[in-house]
Structure 1
């Protein structure tokens, strides 16, 4: 009787076979993806696109300026009065707000005062992912500690009062600098013009922000009260303590009648905000320069159309030199120069082959683009606003800071005083460009029928006129983190194979059968490794909360605070190790020790992948930089004892790479290395790391949580894998 033939086994689907192939060659995939990810980052300055205005309703430069010599003359008188009042010492800083309010009232605008108290910059673990609260008031406060904002409002003749544009000019009411006086004069001239125009469709709010406690605090306090009205009347200081302020208010109201409101005035929904500053320069510049600052908290950026409008009007309308922040140390980097020359040569070869191929830029353009890109990436990753415009993004309002640097040379205070005593000649040296620029930007925003939404919100700048969109720079991040799930699956597969095997990455080109790459999912041994990873990440959460208690220690220097933080962190790790269980408690006789570290590394790599992906949703720039540090460290982590059985050169090279990546992956070491690259290695103090971390938690930056709860635990787990007794 013939033996019945068994039907042939069905082959797995192509997608499953491709996944098995990738997992089996995980080492090759990791090398290719990481190299491609770093190369993609280096290509970003070349792949940058020219900026363009997506919203047609903006129509920048479509109308003529309506500024007249009358506004310039009034601005000169205004600056002269401000500078004269600043000559006499004032203990309370109330004279300048009175002058501003008087001039606003004379123009026919609605005027009011806004009192605020500076916030307490203290770490609070429950305030993350929220803006700093400017309403926190100390128990013992004085009248002189209050700031007084002056707010002027113009009601739009063609509007319905539902939208508004905010113009902010920060100044120190106790000691006004020449630049601050000029910024007030510039805003006053534009405000004076807007009271007489008929095309205004949005209300205009001029916020003269009292920056005696910093430029961010007054803007944030005003926005908080603007969006969260308080009932029962405005909050006022204690009359007994603040008698001088109360006397000033009564005299001001008596002098100006009922022009100053005794309640908080509001306009419509804020469409955009512009912060105007005039820089106090101590060096020569050849052209009038405009610097743009756009980064807000946790990597938020305003709509790119707002920056494009300002850049277009400044360059094509007024001939200003527009700048964005860059790392100046990169301009003298030799390795960047080598890369720039290589890309320039490749671009020339590509153009000679086909003139339509536009690839490559000059070496100098590449260096400057990289320096600007690195600055944009770092400022977004830091999560700290680069100016008072950051307060607007907390309310989803697009805003930027425009810092104007006139072509002047102010060598000492005597020249500054001489200029003002001659009737404000300083204002007349650069009126047309700057005044017309602000007017043009306000007019473009006034044309909008809805909020900014057409252009990009996620982007990196390589110059004022070039950007890299999220669809381009996310490729580098995807390539960097792609090896993590592949390596995790490969390690788990090798650790759970039946029969005695060793955990090795095979780079063979022979066809792979399903039986050879069969993965057994019956084993639950990975739960023990997951327990270890959970304990270390729980320790990271404890480390995150420690500064709250360290800040309570009296007379503690930054260096001492950092040492206390490190000591308590090490002690906490030891306590968790003893109380919750030893990481080696999951060792069993049925499980070879060579598979322990493989399972532990598999779970560690998986946790790093999840942490990086979650951070990319909150702050993509932080995830990008974190991937550069964490991915090589996690992939290279191998027990030192494995190297003893390998070839001598191989063992030494592998051990050296492990030590280097783990050393660079330490958050403290990485900080000082980056600081040395950007600013030089001179005068490096250990306490600077505490200052840096303190700035992160004071501004509620999510980067602080990422460092303590993702980066630091991964670093500790990699050290444990390195020292694992296999």
Structure 2
């Protein structure tokens, strides 16, 4: 009743408006810092949970695994080194056919919008070869995929695949078909095979042969990445394209099977054991997880399965310098066997456990119910500022308020009309600039010549600078229109960030943390362009632009995960290289594999930031 009486009484409502405007900035920054502190506290034991397997049918570690052909795998890897590269598919399928399996090949060509080598070749040609081990107990209604990516430095993966195929073909307990798949085209080859197998098309520029035959519905997939038989530790990778994650149960089952074989386990390449759960290490793993997920790039081949609701993991083996290797590789083979047997036990797709989580160690995780509220706190801060701008836009007399103003007023409010022309003028301008950033590489390749990674960087940076120079020249029809422009801008920003957060939390988090402070402080200069507050606002907006935030993330990644010592020149050089490589991967993934991160940043995030940039020059 009290709230209703305040809203219905114009004078009391105006007093409330005064209070909101007076304290909005302090409350907004308080909520912003509460969100940041909450995020930094997430890796603690109090806010994280111990992992568990929710799907009882998996029964990880319950079965006895007997793979013991590591010596054969090592000999086969040595043999593969002497086989010509173009004969590897035929050699592999002849081996697999000898085990009584159906063997097939698939040719594909990926036409890239970017030239990756000095010959300016913009296409990748490759071969996928696969064999199907038919289950004796069922009629090929379900299948498991065991896949490897073959390159000249990764022949051990293919050797272990063939060795496992030979061993698993002798076991009678399979209730699902097993598809042994190898590709020499990386992610493009895997994408070609998946599209052909599932009968859908979700990429652009990949031409491929139809598959000669299929198995049943793919229940799950396991990808192997082995460079040496001497194993230091194994990393379990779960991040998929566009920030999607595999079901947590399949990742936890993989960790449990690895621990049973006494193989050290890591998350994102960072070692973590059951007895070591320090805050600093957990925070480092969480930041790595957020950074990887935010890119929207598939972490490995398994990431392309996740987009089709096929749970998948990659076992990435890290090598050590001195070891005999035989025992280690045998234990790893038993780990893969155990993971396949876990999936073989499933009676339905994984659905009990979570698809939204952040890993901080091999045995602890952060639930979405705990990591999304900090982001919501920052959204509330933006919403509070937006509501205050709406009040200021509709009631001109509220614009004269100061910190010492009296909260009472005797006159009735005089509301003004919404300046639609000013809103549309800035909206159309920034939207055009965003599309220019997105389309500039394509315009260059169509009108001038082949696109290379360096040219891509020049196109994007050039179009970004052009838009930053152009937008400040767009003037509002009235100096007071900026309040309503900022209101609509904050409304669109919150909606966009919330939508991105529901699909890719990490990307939304990085954007929100970087863009919130410039948004809260954005305001026109009060007649004096050299005013210190105005200069600080412009500098803060520039330093927290999406482009520089992306570069800061690259610097942080290089500083944290690449050994550069205290040589800051080397740090910056490697950060620039990493930035160029990251931009290339984002562009290729968006144009070929269907990732939406590059598009979202160009046509959504960048235009919204340009509104903030424009307001500071009004």
TM-score range, shorter chain: 0.7 to 0.9
Secondary structure in structure 2 of the residue aligned to 1:482: helix
Any residues of structure 2 matched to 1:555-704 within 5 Å, and which? Answer: 558=453, 561-568=456-463, 582-584=474-476, 586-587=477-478, 593=479, 595-641=480-526, 652=532, 654-655=533-534, 657-680=536-559, 681-683=568-570, 684=572, 689-700=579-590, 701-704=595-598
The match for 1:554 is: 449
Q: CA deviation at 1:608?
A: 1.9
Instruction: Say yes or no: does 1:60 pair with 2:60.
Output: yes
Secondary structure in structure 2 of the residue aligned to 1:157: coil
Secondary structure in structure 2 of the residue aligned to 1:673: helix
Counterpart of 2:217 (choices 242, 264, 269) is 269
Q: CA RMSD in A?
A: 3.7
Any residues of structure 2 matched to 1:12-27 within 5 Å, and which? Answer: 12=7, 22=20, 25-27=23-25
Counterpart of 2:189 (choices 194, 202, 218) is 218
- Judged with a 3 Å threshold, the aligned counterparts in structure 2 of structure 1 residues 371 and 558 are, in CA distance, closer, same or farther, namely same
On the 8 A contact 1:76/1:427 being kept in 2, the answer is no
Counterpart of 2:112 (choices 121, 127, 131) is 121
The match for 2:163 is: 189
Secondary structure in structure 2 of the residue aligned to 1:395: coil
Aligned mates of 2:514, 2:125 — CA distance in 1: 44
- Per-residue CA deviation, residues 609-656 of structure 1 (Å, 9 max, x unaligned), is 2221222233221111100011111101233337899xxxxx74x446
Aligned mates of 2:5, 2:470 — CA distance in 1: 53
- Judged with a 3 Å threshold, the aligned counterparts in structure 2 of structure 1 residues 63 and 147 are, in CA distance, closer, same or farther, namely same
On the 8 A contact 1:629/1:664 being kept in 2, the answer is no
Counterpart of 1:36 (choices 24, 34, 37) is 34
Aligned mates of 2:411, 2:359 — CA distance in 1: 46
- Per-residue CA deviation, residues 492-533 of structure 1 (Å, 9 max, x unaligned), is 21233254x53546489x9x77x7898766522355235323
The match for 1:306 is: 250
Secondary structure in structure 1 of the residue aligned to 2:171: coil
- Judged with a 3 Å threshold, the aligned counterparts in structure 2 of structure 1 residues 520 and 206 are, in CA distance, closer, same or farther, namely farther
- Per-residue CA deviation, residues 145-178 of structure 1 (Å, 9 max, x unaligned), is 7433331111112223111000012222xx3x4x
- Per-residue CA deviation, residues 548-592 of structure 1 (Å, 9 max, x unaligned), is 1123433666555544444455556878899xxx432x22xxxxx
Q: CA deviation at 1:665?
A: 1.7
On the 8 A contact 1:25/1:505 being kept in 2, the answer is no
- Judged with a 3 Å threshold, the aligned counterparts in structure 2 of structure 1 residues 139 and 496 are, in CA distance, closer, same or farther, namely closer
Q: CA deviation at 1:42?
A: 0.6
On the 8 A contact 1:51/1:465 being kept in 2, the answer is yes
Aligned mates of 1:157, 1:656 — CA distance in 2: 74
Any residues of structure 2 matched to 1:247-258 within 5 Å, and which? Answer: none
On the 8 A contact 1:493/1:520 being kept in 2, the answer is no
Aligned mates of 1:381, 1:396 — CA distance in 2: 19
Secondary structure in structure 2 of the residue aligned to 1:583: coil
Aligned mates of 1:236, 1:641 — CA distance in 2: 61
Aligned mates of 2:36, 2:208 — CA distance in 1: 56
Counterpart of 1:202 (choices 176, 182, 205) is 176
The match for 1:502 is: 399
Secondary structure in structure 2 of the residue aligned to 1:45: coil
- Judged with a 3 Å threshold, the aligned counterparts in structure 2 of structure 1 residues 369 and 85 are, in CA distance, closer, same or farther, namely closer
Q: CA deviation at 1:473?
A: 0.9
Any residues of structure 2 matched to 1:235-634 within 5 Å, and which? Answer: 264-280=212-228, 288-315=232-259, 317-325=260-268, 365-405=278-318, 407-409=320-322, 428-497=326-395, 499=397, 501-502=398-399, 504=401, 506=403, 523-525=417-419, 527-552=421-446, 553-554=448-449, 558=453, 561-568=456-463, 582-584=474-476, 586-587=477-478, 593=479, 595-634=480-519
- Per-residue CA deviation, residues 388-442 of structure 1 (Å, 9 max, x unaligned), is 11121232211111022355538xxxxxxxxxxxxxxx66332441121111111
Counterpart of 1:107 (choices 99, 102, 106) is 99
Q: Unaligned regions of 5+ residues in structure 1, if any?
A: 1-8, 124-137, 238-261, 332-360, 411-425, 588-592, 646-650
Task: Please say which of residues 673-682 and 365-374 is displaced more in the overlay.
Answer: 673-682
Instruction: Say yes or no: does 1:169 pair with 2:54.
Output: no
Task: Please say which of residues 553-562 and 220-229 is displaced more in the overlay.
Answer: 553-562
The match for 2:204 is: none
TM-score (norm 2): 0.84
TM-score (norm 1): 0.72
Aligned mates of 1:197, 1:664 — CA distance in 2: 61
Q: Unaligned regions of 5+ residues in structure 2, if any?
A: 115-119, 202-206, 560-567
- Judged with a 3 Å threshold, the aligned counterparts in structure 2 of structure 1 residues 519 and 432 are, in CA distance, closer, same or farther, namely farther
Counterpart of 2:129 (choices 150, 157, 165) is 150
Aligned mates of 2:534, 2:506 — CA distance in 1: 31
On the 8 A contact 1:79/1:184 being kept in 2, the answer is no
- Per-residue CA deviation, residues 667-705 of structure 1 (Å, 9 max, x unaligned), is 332233332333245344667645432321211132222
Task: Please say which of residues 29-38 and 272-281 is displaced more in the overlay.
Answer: 272-281
Aligned length: 583
Secondary structure in structure 2 of the residue aligned to 1:87: coil
- Judged with a 3 Å threshold, the aligned counterparts in structure 2 of structure 1 residues 540 and 682 are, in CA distance, closer, same or farther, namely same
Aligned mates of 2:101, 2:410 — CA distance in 1: 81
Aligned mates of 1:106, 1:207 — CA distance in 2: 16
On the 8 A contact 2:112/2:122 being kept in 1, the answer is no
Aligned mates of 2:428, 2:155 — CA distance in 1: 56
Task: Please say which of residues 221-230 and 19-28 is displaced more in the overlay.
Answer: 19-28
Aligned mates of 1:702, 1:503 — CA distance in 2: 44
On the 8 A contact 1:665/1:715 being kept in 2, the answer is no
